[in-house]
Amino acid sequence: MAPRDALNYYFESERTPGTIVHGIVVDAARSNGSLRTRADVERFARSVLDLHPLFRRRLRTTIAHLAFPVWVECDVDVPAHVFVHDATDADEHPDHFLRRLVMDASSTPFDFDVPAWQIHLVTGLRGVPGVPEGGSVLLLKVHHSAIDGMGTTSLVHRMLAPPSADVSAHRNDVFDRESVAVPTPFAALRSLPREFAGFAGRGFRRWRAVRQLEPAQRPTAHRYPATRFNRNLAPDMTFGMAWFDLDRVRAIKSAVPGTTVNDVVMTVVSIALSDYLAGELPATSLGASFPVNVRTVDTTGETANQLAIAVVDLFTDVADPVDRLRAVSAAARERKSDLATRLRSLPSHPMNSAPAPLLAAIARLVPRRPAAPTTTGTNTMISNIAYGDDRMELAGAPVTGVFAPLPVVEGVQLAHVVVSAGRRMCLTAVSHRALMPDVDHYTALLASAVDMLAVATGTSERASVVTVA
C-alpha cells in the first residue's frame, strides 16, 4: 500500500470513515433477467471478481506497523460479501428503507481480514424519488485505501457494460500489478533508517522549494468562519438526494460563458447553504473543499488515490445568483491552476512518502478538532463524479442513474457529491441529524437554487427538474 493510500487506512475512525459507496439505479421492470434473488447476486459477483484485484485481495499488516499494509491474494467467500434487501418486506417507506441502507453501508467499517468490498441489492422500490417504479438499486461498497472515486467509476463501468461494449477506456490498472509479499519484522526494521532519511530529505527539499517562491505563491491554509456544520459531534448520519435533468444544468452553464457544470453545482450548493443557514449565515464568505484529479500531473501510477484537495470561496456574501456563479467559477479556475502549478513545480509533499510507523503514530496522536470552533479550513465538501453517456445495464436491465454519498468527517459535517450519468444528475447531501434534522428541506433548497439560476440566466423553460427527494 502506498503512503497516500495508507492515509485512508490509518486515519479511519467512526468520525472519519474510509468507505466509498456508489448507488446504481436500475429499471428492473425492463428486463426479464434482472437480478432479484441472492443466488442471482452471488452469480453476478462471481462474474466480476477478475475485473479488479480488490475483489480478490485482503489486507495484511506488519507488527507494530513497521511497514505499510500489503494487499495479498486470498480465497473469496462470495456469499459473505453479498446482501439482498427487499423493500416490500420492510416496515418503513421504501424511500426511508433505501436511505437507511445507504447510511449503514457508508458508516459501517470493513473487516480487513477479508477483501474490502460488498455488493448490496435493494429490490422492490416503489415511490422512491429518482428510482423507476419497482426498480432496484445496486450498492457497491469499497474502501478508499484500495481505490478512489474515479477508479470506482471506471470499475462500475466495466461491471455493468453491455456485452458488446468496449470498456478499454474505463480501465484503472494501478492495482493490476502482482501481489507482493508481506515484509518480515526484521526486513521492515532494516528498511526504516533509509525510509526516515528519505522522508527527512524530501521534507527539506519541499521546505526549501516553498521558501524560494514569492510569498503570494506559497501554499497557505484557508480560514473561514465556522458554522453549525463545523461542530465536532459523535456520528449520526442523515442523507438526502436531489435529482435533476443534466441538460438543464448544462443550459445554465452555457448561458454564462466560461463556467462549467461543476461551477454551477458549487453555486447551487452556495445558494442552498445560504438559504438554509439564513439568520446564522456569517457576513463573510463560506468556503468549500473539492477534489482535483491529478492523474495528468502525477503520472507515477503508484497509488490508487490520485486526487488532491483544493478549497474555494463560495461567495455566500454575493446576492445576485449570476454574479455568484461567475465569482465561484473564476475562483475555482484559479484554485485548480494554482494547485496544478504547485504539483508540477514543487517536490511532492513529504506526507506522501512518510514511513509507515510515522503515519500510524500521527493517526493515533493527532488531536481532536474543537467541539465548537470559530474558524475552519472548509465549511463543506463538494465532490463530483462523471459517469458519462456510456450505456450501463445489470442483467439486461438499464441503469437510469447513479448516486454516491460522501460520509462527513470530523469538523466538516456537511458533504455533497454530484454524479452525472447519461442525462440525469444526482446531488446528494450528507450531514449530522442534530445539525440538519430536516434534510429533505435542504434538498428542496438545492432544487430551488437550480430554479433560481435557471430564471436568472433565462433558461428556465429549456428543461425541468426530474425528481427531488
Widest CA span in the chain: 69
Instruction: State which H helix or E strand residue 338 sits in.
Output: helix 321-345
Q: Is the pTM of this model over 0.85?
A: yes
In a domain, 416, yes or no: no
Do 329 and 448 belong together in one domain? yes
Do 157 and 209 belong together in one domain? no
pLDDT tens-digit series, residues 126-142:
999 999 999 999 999 99
Among 146, 170, 194, residue at a domain's last position: 170
Query: Which pLDDT does position 143 carry in this prediction?
Result: 96
Overall domain count for the chain? 2
Query: Which pLDDT does position 286 carry in this prediction?
Result: 97
Concatenated DSSP letters of 293-329: E-TTT------S--EEEEEEE--TT--SHHHHHHHHH
Q: Are 57 and 115 a contacting pair, CB within 8 Å?
A: yes
**Residue type at 268 in one-letter notation:** V
Concatenated DSSP letters of 156-183: HHHHT--TT---GGG---TT-SPP-PPP
Among 151, 170, 189, residue at a domain's last position: 170
Which of 332, 321, 330 has the alpha carbon at shortest distance from 449? 321
In a domain, 176, yes or no: no
Q: What are the CB-based long-range contacts (under 8 Å, 24+) for 104-107? A: 105/19, 105/21, 105/139, 105/141, 106/17, 106/19, 106/21, 106/141, 106/237, 106/239, 106/405, 106/407, 106/430, 107/14, 107/17, 107/19, 107/235, 107/237, 107/407
Do 166 and 232 belong together in one domain? no
In a domain, 59, yes or no: yes
Do 235 and 360 belong together in one domain? yes
In a domain, 368, yes or no: yes
Concatenated DSSP letters of 353-399: G--HHHHHHHHHHPPPPPSS-SEES-SEEEEEEEEES---EETTEEE
Do 234 and 142 belong together in one domain? no
Which residue segment(s) compose the domain that 82 sits in? 3-170
Do 142 and 216 belong together in one domain? no
Task: Give, to the nearest 10 degrees, the angle between helix 246-255 and helix 261-277.
Answer: 100
Nearest 5°: CA angle at 229, between 226 and 231?
75
In a domain, 343, yes or no: yes
pLDDT tens, the chain, 469 aa long? 888 889 889 999 888 999 999 999 999 988 888 888 999 999 999 999 999 999 999 999 999 999 999 999 999 999 999 999 999 999 999 999 999 999 999 999 999 999 999 999 999 999 999 999 999 999 999 999 999 888 899 999 999 999 877 666 666 555 555 667 888 999 999 999 999 999 999 999 988 988 888 777 777 778 999 999 999 999 999 999 999 999 999 999 999 999 999 999 999 999 999 999 998 999 999 999 988 776 555 544 466 556 678 899 999 999 999 999 999 999 999 888 887 777 777 788 888 889 999 999 999 888 888 889 999 999 999 999 999 999 999 999 999 999 999 999 999 999 999 999 999 999 999 999 999 999 999 999 999 999 999 999 999 764 444 433 3
Q: Is 58 helix (H, G, I), strand (E, B) or coil?
A: strand
Bridging pattern class, strands 397-403 and 375-376: unpaired
Do 344 and 441 belong together in one domain? yes
Do 331 and 445 belong together in one domain? yes
In a domain, 418, yes or no: no
Do 284 and 222 belong together in one domain? yes
